Amino acid sequence: MAAESFGDEDDRPNVVVMMVDDMGLSDIGPYGSEIPTPNLDALAAGGVRFSQFYNTGRCCPTRASLLTGLYSHQAGVGWMTTDQGTPGYLGRLSDDCVTIAEVLQQAGYFTAMTGKWHVGHDEGGMPKDRGFDRSLNLPAGGVHFSNQTGSKGNTKLFLDGEEVAKDDPMFAPPWYGTDLWVRQGLKFVDEASQKGKPFFWYCAHIAPHFPCMAPESTIAKYRGKYMKGWDQMRIERHARQIESGLIDPSWEMEPRPDVIPAWDSLSHEQKVRYDDMMAIYAAMIEEIDNSVGKLVAGLKSKGQLENTLILFLSDNGGNAEAGISGRYDGDHPGDPHSNVFIGQCWAHLNNTPFRKYKHFNHEGGIATPLIAHWPDRISPKSDWIKTPTHLIDLMATCVDIGKAEYPEQHGGVAVTPMQGQSLLPLLNGEGEFSDRPLYWEHEGNAAVRIGDMKLVREGGNGKWELFDLAKDRTEQNPIDDPKLKQAMMQQWTRWAKSADVLPKPDTLKKKRNKKS
């Protein structure tokens, strides 16, 4: 739909999608955290919260699914950014998909992107090539400071597809990423206003992804606060989740896995080390929250807040990479020259009360917060939107509220139909949101959800387990129903074949992409 169809008074809503990287379900105040997040609290209080919104369990696939409204394999990014020679594993956005930016751009929107791209960045695959009018982005992630060194220190920064220095004066260095991505995005919003267009802004934060680092003044606030340890703090988060209505008290909290030591079994020196690691991570969450405050204040000052749909979510569950010990390297861990991973012990806290972590298709890997705020259309609700929803629904939502047309062809290539449906009926209570199955696959981990029944598998050769999520969303008590399991396995396989999950590449290249 062309921009001129709307005339000079284009009052269609703006859309901001802010996604954070490697943050667990319970890491922000509205979902049970002890970390103060007043700006996210206010966003939730003035909007709505989803209790069963899903991502794909990993960074690249989530970004592909969010941007295209397809399951990630259909968009060419079933794994990471390595081309493995099959349609579902191209390692970049495929030619037979379109992005939200491409669709809304054709409908007259100004489109902008800041932060982490990570869906292929070779020539022809940059944000500018996929519908974004303006962009300031990293090809992948890992950079938090303009003067960062270490394994991510040489990562390049791109403005509208052209490499720029991270310390270029136009970015007012030294900067911390959560501030830069919002500050630059608000400049893009000004350009949209000058053109008289509504805008779509995809703000993809790098925080709190490893290497974990934050301003020292923020980290200092949290040192000592995690000496309670993961066992006690998990109990406290769980209690807050029950009190808020997010978690049913009848669901059994996932027990601490045997490989994770009891906090009380650690030496004082070990506790101090772990405390400092989590203090760094908590500081990153605070800086994310500060960025939300700057976003809201900036939109309000420009007269854009009331008619802007803001969506806040995470790309996967908390990250257990680096195992039990995590990593705690550098002369001053948490500074721009250090290398910190919080590891599995704290990831178990991040994902309270669920099983597993990033990579997996159990709830701990795929459940994300989703906060939606839109003063013109959403009335604040004290309860939760409990309908199962997914990244695939964001394209349909943008097409709906932007009065856009999802194309049948793009660049002479037939486009895969979008897989989701608009969230608008759930946001404003008008219209119907139909039940449908949801599917997952990543690195052999797999799941299908039909109603409240979920079939999930750990690894390509793993055993399928069946759960009734209405009674057991923490996936503690598998159901013995061979007939239903078989039917759901067959349904998942039919989907996998139709969605380019299968066939798998002959040899999955396990040369790990260090930019994940």
pLDDT tens-digit map of 309-326? 999 999 999 999 999 999
Q: Is the pLDDT of residue 447 over 50?
A: yes
Q: What average pLDDT does the segment 347-352 reach?
A: 98
Q: How far apart are CA 133 and CA 161, in angstroms?
A: 11
Instruction: Please calculate the CA angle 293-29-276 and round it to the nearest 5 degrees.
Output: 95
pLDDT at 379: 86
> Which pair of tokens denotes residue 464?
């399928």
> Which pair of tokens denotes residue 277?
């690691």
Q: What average pLDDT does the segment 117-121 reach?
A: 94
pLDDT at 507: 57
When mean pLDDT is compared across 81-95, 302-316, 473-487, the lowest value belongs to 81-95
pLDDT at 506: 75
R_g (Cα) of the chain, nearest Å = 22
Which band of pLDDT confidence, cut at 50, 70 and 90, is reported for residue 382? confident
pLDDT, tens digit, 9 for 90 and up, residues 250-277: 999 999 999 999 999 999 999 999 999 9
Q: How far apart are CA 187 and CA 299, in angstroms?
A: 11
Q: Is the pLDDT of residue 158 over 70?
A: yes
pLDDT at 457: 98
pLDDT, tens digit, 9 for 90 and up, residues 199-221: 999 999 999 999 999 999 999 99
Q: How far apart are CA 321 and CA 339, in angstroms?
A: 13
Q: What average pLDDT does the segment 126-152 reach?
A: 96
Q: How far apart are CA 384 and CA 246, in angstroms?
A: 7
List, in sequence order, every residue forming a beta bridge with 164; answer none if it has no partner: 157
Q: How far apart are CA 119 and CA 132, in angstroms?
A: 14
- In this structure, what are the phi and psi dihedrals at residue 456, rounded to the nearest 5 degrees? -140, 145
Q: How far apart are CA 453 and CA 467, in angstroms?
A: 6
> Which pair of tokens denotes residue 414?
């037939």
Inter-CA distances, 396 with 65, 74, 212, 423, Å: 12, 16, 34, 8
Q: What average pLDDT does the segment 49-71 reach?
A: 98
pLDDT at 9: 61
How many C-beta atoms surround the C-beta of residue 221 within 10 A? 14
Instruction: For residue 298, give the 3-state DSSP assignment.
Output: helix
Q: How far apart are CA 223 and CA 344, in angstroms?
A: 19
Q: What is the amino acid identity at position 465? A: E
Burial of 482 (0-12, 13-18, 19+ CB in 10 A): exposed
Q: What average pLDDT does the segment 11-19 reach?
A: 97
pLDDT at 162: 96
**What interhelical angle do 268-301 and 38-45 show, nearest 10?**
50
Q: Is the pLDDT of residue 2 over 90?
A: no
Instruction: For residue 44, give the 3-state DSSP assignment.
Output: helix
pLDDT at 291: 98
Q: Where is 373: in which H helix or E strand?
A: strand 367-373
Q: How far apart are CA 444 and CA 487, in angstroms?
A: 19
Q: What average pLDDT does the segment 356-384 reach?
A: 95
How many helices, marked H, and strands, marked E, lie in the chain?
Answer: 12, 18
- In this structure, what are the phi and psi dihedrals at residue 100, rounded to the nearest 5 degrees? -55, -40
Cis check: omega of the bond before 353, within 30 degrees of 0: yes
Q: Is the pLDDT of residue 510 over 50?
A: no
For 493, which DSSP code?
H
Q: How far apart are CA 180 and CA 188, in angstroms?
A: 12
Q: What average pLDDT does the segment 323-342 reach?
A: 98
CB neighbours of 220 closer than 8 A, spacing ≥ 6? Answer: none
Q: How far apart are CA 502 and CA 86, in angstroms?
A: 9
Q: Where is 465: in which H helix or E strand?
A: strand 465-468
Q: What average pLDDT does the segment 457-478 reach?
A: 97
Q: Is the pLDDT of residue 95 over 50?
A: yes
Q: Read off the pTM.
A: 0.96
